[in-house]
Structure 1
Amino acid sequence: MKTCLFLFSFLFLLHFTGRTQVPTTSARRDSSIKVAVIQQGRYSSVLYTMNGEPITNSTIKSLLKSYPKSALELRKCRAQKRLALGLLPVFIAGIIIGGVQSDKHKDAAGSPFSKAPVPFSIGLSAWFGSIILLATNNHYAKAIEAYNSQFK
């Protein structure tokens, strides 16, 4: 009889201790990355925060790399930056070649551009193309959005 009573009381206590260990979902911390723009006179800067604490760029990149959708957007961001930087040597080569060709025709009338239009056009197209690629690169913001979507 004692063992039965002991077993019954043990199971009764075990039943209630198991219920108290259920995690609550109401006090979950917000782990999403938030962007705060700080105005400093005429200039503004961006501050990234998580749980109300500022985080560094290396921490942001490691967080973005840990989630597959944001890692994909981060790779797209780096690829677009690489392509924009890859166009800069094309710009320099086009301008140098155009300058050399226009110097060979010093006696001809017209501007240096009219003396060597193709190399200058290629160089200027590469210059404006790299500017456009860098200005339209919004994959970093998309990576942060993709990372934050897992917390919604």
Structure 2
Amino acid sequence: MNDTQSFRPAPLPTPGRWRRFACMLYEAILLFGVVFVAGYLFDTLTQSRHALALRHERQAWIFFVIGAYFVLCWRLGGQTLPMKTWHIRLTDADGGRPPLWKAVLRYLLAWPFTLTGIGFVWSFFDPDKQFPQDRLLGTRLVSTR
């Protein structure tokens, strides 16, 4: 290696599937609180007194709030609180934070892959053990241990 070439560290390893699954369970518990506060705020601001009143607007609001939570966490530090606990970080192909458009698109793509279970099954066949939304966007989940 000559002096003009820059040193590139080895890529960080991919976290194991069980660690990612545990992180998803922790994320679901944390999201319960986020959804509760978002629902309370929605009901207070709209003076909604029935669960079926403004149902579609409520669903859109909660979808937006959950998206804002994930996108902001991924953009600011690459990690949500459960991801920090389980030492997992979302990175771009170059190891940095993913741009805003990738974070938003990753959130949107994660819904169908996660709800159907395809994403988790996909990781068994992916050479880097990544989820399909990460493969499509060039992002990676890496271990920070």
**Would the TM-score normalized by the shorter structure come out above 0.5?**
no
Higher alpha-carbon Rg: 1
**Structure with a larger share of its residues in helix:** 1
TM-score by length of 1: 0.28
* Structure whose residues are more often strand by fraction: 1
* TM-score, length of structure 2 as denominator length: 0.29
